[in-house]
Structure formats: structure tokens, C-alpha cells
Structure 1
Amino acid sequence: MTVTSTAPAAVLRTARIPGDGIYEGPRVLRRLPAGWEERPYELFEVVPQARTIGAEIRGVDLARPLTPALRAELDRALLEWKVLFFRAQHLTSGRQRAFARNWGELETNPLLATGAGADVVRFAKGGDATPTFENVWHTDVTFRERPALGAVLQLREVPPSGGDTLWADMAAAYDNLPREVRERVDGARAVHDFIPGFARFYGPERLAPFQEVFPPVEHPVVRVHPATGRRTLFVNASFTTRITGLDRDESDRLLRLLFQQAHVPEYQVRFRWQPGDVAFWDNRATQHYAVNDYGSHRRVAERVAVVGDRPF
């Protein structure tokens, strides 16, 4: 008679990591919307800088007026790559504004220092300059009813090292949310307010007069891009204060999870500036992060922004 022994089933000890956060592992990295017709560019060279976001554009002089054909092709590149880089343009403020106006009316921001005009924001950093929007992932001016469509930023002075800017693809961030999280945020709305972002570097006396100018506004947590139809995660750590209809603890927990998604390296592109470089980004599809790692060295940038639409 043969006796067979059965080994006990393997048992693992109980162990878990917190479920709310950035998970590790493979991700879906889809640069273009489903069904999008990808065509070659005929008027300039496109040099990709990352998998889904960021491309250097070569062969375009932004100081010259855009022809309709060039404007259309640059617009397609913006939609497909979300942020475009142009090296050594050295634009005057007037030329920078003229380029941005190809995409619409320029916005002003009374909360920030200005350059050659009210629609030119000037960021002069280093030494004892007031720190502003650095070291935080954010989407520009989501506290407005119509947040900016996009922005054109030029570096006029660059520190000897550091001072890079990163952008994150928030369509990729949405695509990779766990299914149960997507089900919670699709159709949800969130409140945006200018105070948390600006209170990092301005006091109540400076901000109080603008409370009626910029009352809190609601936007969808997931907006639909008006040109591509992509669903993009549209909350950020500078301006989004709570999710409508949730109690404070639940809202805070979900927002922390959503804010973290911009930190995933696979969704990012990082740009090392040289003087005269220009970046043009789609504010509807991205967040960005200016790195303040240059100590007392000077970093001077000027930005013009294009008025956007009401998110839906």
C-alpha cells in the first residue's frame, strides 16, 4: 500500500500597503486620443522629449508672424504633445505677446508682478526676491471661471545650474487611475480658490481686496478637453480646496490621492532652460512644477497667458 503525503498549502502572512497613493508597476502611456489621425509635420521638425508629453520644435522663428498653415500645424503639435519647446528665440515682450495672441485674448493677473505690459507676468527670482509658484505642482489660474487655455513662458536669465521646469500629462494621469477611483471622480465637481496658492507668499492684507474679484468657483474634477475629447484630471494642490458633496475628511483623502498623480515620472517631461528659450503649454491638459534649486542665483522669466474656456 502506497501512502502519499500532502504538503500543507502555502500561507502568506498578512501584509498590506495603504491603498490610497501612487502605485508601482506598468502604466498605460497613450499620447493621442483614440481615433486621432496622426500625420507628419511639414513645416518644422518635432523632436520628442518624453513618451506622452513634450516636444522640441525646430525650424520655427517665433519672432515672425505665423502663416495660417504654420499656426494650424503648431496648434496640432500642441494638442498632440501638450508642451512645445523652442530654443534660443530671444523674443521681445511684444513679439512674445504677438505669438500668444494667435491662440486668443491675453489674460491679466493682478496678483503677480508684471513686465512690459499688464498681460506680461514677470517672475524675477534669486536673492531676496519674493518666492512665488515654485516647488508645487499646479495648473494655472484654475480659480477663474475660465482658466487659461495655455501659456507662453520665456527665460530671460538662467541660473548656472538648476531652475528646470517639469510638466505632467494629466490625461495619462486620468487614464491610469484605478477603475474604482475613476468611477468616483467622473461627474464630480470641486471648488477652486486663489487663497491657498497665494497665501504661501502673500499676507492677508495683500489678498483680502481680491476676495470679491475672485470668488470660489466650481469645475469638474475630470474635464473634457474641448479640442481632443480627452478626459483629463483637473484638480491641483495650489487651488483645489474640496470636492463638492463630500464631507471634509473624505474630500481631503480623495484630493490627496488625485494630487499625487502628477508626481509619476512616466507622465512627466523635464526641461533644462537656456537664455531665450520658450515653452508653450496647454494649460487644459497639464500641470507644471518650477524647481527652485538655484539658491541666490538669478532666474528671470516672463509669461503671457491666453484666456481659456469654461471647463466641462
Structure 2
Amino acid sequence: MVEGLERRGHRCTLFLYDVNSDDVTCHEEVIRRCWPGMKATIKSATPSIQGIDAVVASSWQTAHVVASRIAGPVRCFYFVQDYEPYFYPRGSLYTIAELSYHLGLGIIALGDMVATQLQRESGVAPATTVPFGCDTEVYRILDESRMPGPRSGIVFYAKRSTDRRGYMLAKLALEHFHEMHPDEEIHVYGDRVDNWRIPVTNHGSLPPAELNELYNRTRAGLVMSFTNISLAAEELLAAGCVPVLNDSVMARADLPGENAVWARPTPAVLASALSSVVDDQQRAAASAAPFRVRPGWTQTQAMVADLIESACKGVLSR
């Protein structure tokens, strides 16, 4: 979204808030390396957020920072990418996250699930709802000459400390799957895992281009999310790899197309769904061509920029 604003000629600043330090230089190298297309200045938000026309919070924590540190007449927005109270049990953090939607920031909801839950759970109507996209410049079918052979094995994105990503259920499902298909390699990226009772190939954190190569080598990907849809689902489809997802009304709200496989989130059912993809020769032939996905994030970038520009034509204090 920042790059989309920059392409329209806007000067952007990325404000970072660190409860332990004002020094943002330790984060800047990572940001520059991982998002090379973004040219924004990087500053600390700890003293105050000033010298700008508009500010966009990107999570419940930053929404509270914006509300408490804005100096002067600034248009304030909140790009809500998930219904974040669901990240916690009912209690203090759940409540503080939910309160972030009532701070008077103009809410931009990413996807229908977020828009629906904001209205249903918090009684808040977003200023606008923008669609998901898929980075098809990175995630795509590669030429067969670049691949070591026919597709085989499955891939799983592991987030051990993020319960909404279903790590424990996925681990049990993959153990079941290995019993059904002991010759199929199981690739794990994201967090490195250990103490599993089955063999897995740990890849750790992969750059996007290398992740796309892994998607192009494998037959299926296990994608777990119990709130908003994971970006990995469409990225797998763009690379010709079939995502198997835990069935969820919330996740279904923002994944178009008929090629994803939805399964009840029990270890046995998820394992059976993975097995069905691996055994389906007709589906394997179809993966030589990309499945239908949304083409990039251009529409979303334009909608976000349009909203901010329209609001700033007559800048008002929040």
C-alpha cells in the first residue's frame, strides 16, 4: 500500500513504535532488504507522529499509538487486515484490541470477512472495504526446465506461537498423512520445527522467489487459518500447487475459485484431504497451468490511495 501511494507521487514515512527503544535503525536494514520497492523514510513514533497529512495504523497496537501521539490536524486511518480480537482469549488483550475500532480512525477493511466481523462484533461500519490480491509477479508457474522433475510432496507454513494458524492440528494431520504416504516428502517453512515423530524437511524462512520454487515442486500445501484467509492459499494456486485449508466460514469469505480443497479441521480429515490431492492424477495434470487467482494488488492500492487522497482534499482534525 505504501508503494502504491509512492507511485502517485506522495512522500511517505514509516513510523515504528518500539516499547523498549526510540532507536529504529536496528529495524531499518531488514525493512530495506525485504521491501526494496518502498522508499519511505523510517522514523520512531515514540516521541510523536507529526509533519504529515495522513497516517494509517496497521494493527490494533499501532491504532492506539496513532490515537495517543498525533500532533496537529491529520487525517487518521486504520487498515484492518484481520479481526484481531480473535487473536486472544476473552480478556484484557481481546478487549483492548476491540477498543481499537472505536478510536475514531477511518477504517479500511481488507476483505469481506473483516468488514462483516467489524459490523457484527463491534458495530463498526468501515469507511471502505478493499479486496485481497495475489502477488502474481512472484508466485507463478515456472518453466519445467527449471524444475528437478515432476511435482511431489507437500508443503506447510509453520507458525508455532500463533494459534490461529493451527500449528498443533497441522502437525497431527501431517503425522497422519505420513502414515498414508510415507514416500511423500513433507516440506516445512516459516518456523523451524523439531521433535516430530515423522521426517520433515525444514526450510526456515524463505525469500519469496525461493518459496515460489518450492510451491512449483510440490503437489499440495496445507494452509491453516482460523480467522482471515491466509495469503498462502492464493500464492499456492498461482504456482500450480493445490491448497488444503481448514474449512471456515470466515476464511471462505475471501478466497474465490473452485480449486482449493476445504476440509473439516480434524487431523484425520485434513490428512485425507491431502491424500486425495496427492492421489488425484487429473488434478496433477491441471496444475501444469495456473489456477484462477486475483491479479496483483493494484486495485487494492488504488482504492486505498483514492480514499486517503479524497479525505485530504480538506484536511480535518480527527
TM-score computed with the length of structure 1 as normaliser:
0.24
Q: Which has the higher contact order (CA 8 A, sep 6+)?
A: 1
Answer 1 or 2: which has greater strand percent.
Answer: 1
Answer 1 or 2: which has greater helix percent.
Answer: 2
Larger Rg: 1
TM-score computed with the length of structure 2 as normaliser:
0.24
